[in-house]
Amino acid sequence: MNDARDVLKNAYVPYSHFPVGASLLMKDGKVITGVNVENVSFGATNCAERSAIFTAISQGYKKGDIKAIAVAGETEDYLPPCAICRQVMVEFCEPDTPVYLTRHDQSIHETSVSGLVPYAFEKLDM
């Protein structure tokens, strides 16, 4: 969780001023972080969770290698991933992968990928 909070300072958020940090604990013990990176064309913006997951994949990790996910921000309530990030989590995580959501006071809410996406769209649905 601290890794997600520590990386907040690296977020590129000149438009929203809404930094988000994410960290992945991989099954081999490595921690991979990501931040949101905005673009003036908001559709080109990438969220922290996807930045971290895509970094893991680019480093050779595979579907199922993520042991846990943490999301940190400076919000009043727990900071949940957006719908696109949730779908990416479904693609690369097991349904029971723990997801830890935080808020500005650093309290933590634990859920899971299936808790975030109870009726996930999966390859079996294609």
pTM comes to 0.93
pLDDT digits (tens, 9 = 90+) for 14-32: 999 999 999 999 999 999 9
Q: Within a 10 A sphere around the Cβ of 48, how many other Cβ atoms?
A: 28
Torsion of CA 99, 56, 26, 119, to 10 degrees: 30
Tally the domains of the chain: 1
Residue-level pLDDT at 122: 77
Residue 47 annotated in ligand binding = yes
**Conformational region of residue 29, where left means phi above 0, alpha means psi within -120 to 50, and beta covers everything else:** left
Phi, psi (deg, nearest 5) at residue 77:
-110, 175
Give the CATH number, domain containing residue 97: 3.40.140.10
Residue-level pLDDT at 23: 98
- 102 and 47 in contact (C-beta within 8 Å)? no
Residue-level pLDDT at 121: 82
Residue 85 annotated in ligand binding = yes
What is the sign, positive or negative, of the torsion defined by CA atoms of 1, 80, 49, 10?
negative
Which domain covers residue 117, as residue numbers? 2-125
pLDDT digits (tens, 9 = 90+) for 47-103: 999 999 999 999 999 999 999 999 999 999 999 999 999 999 999 999 999 999 999
Task: Please list the active-site residues.
Answer: 49
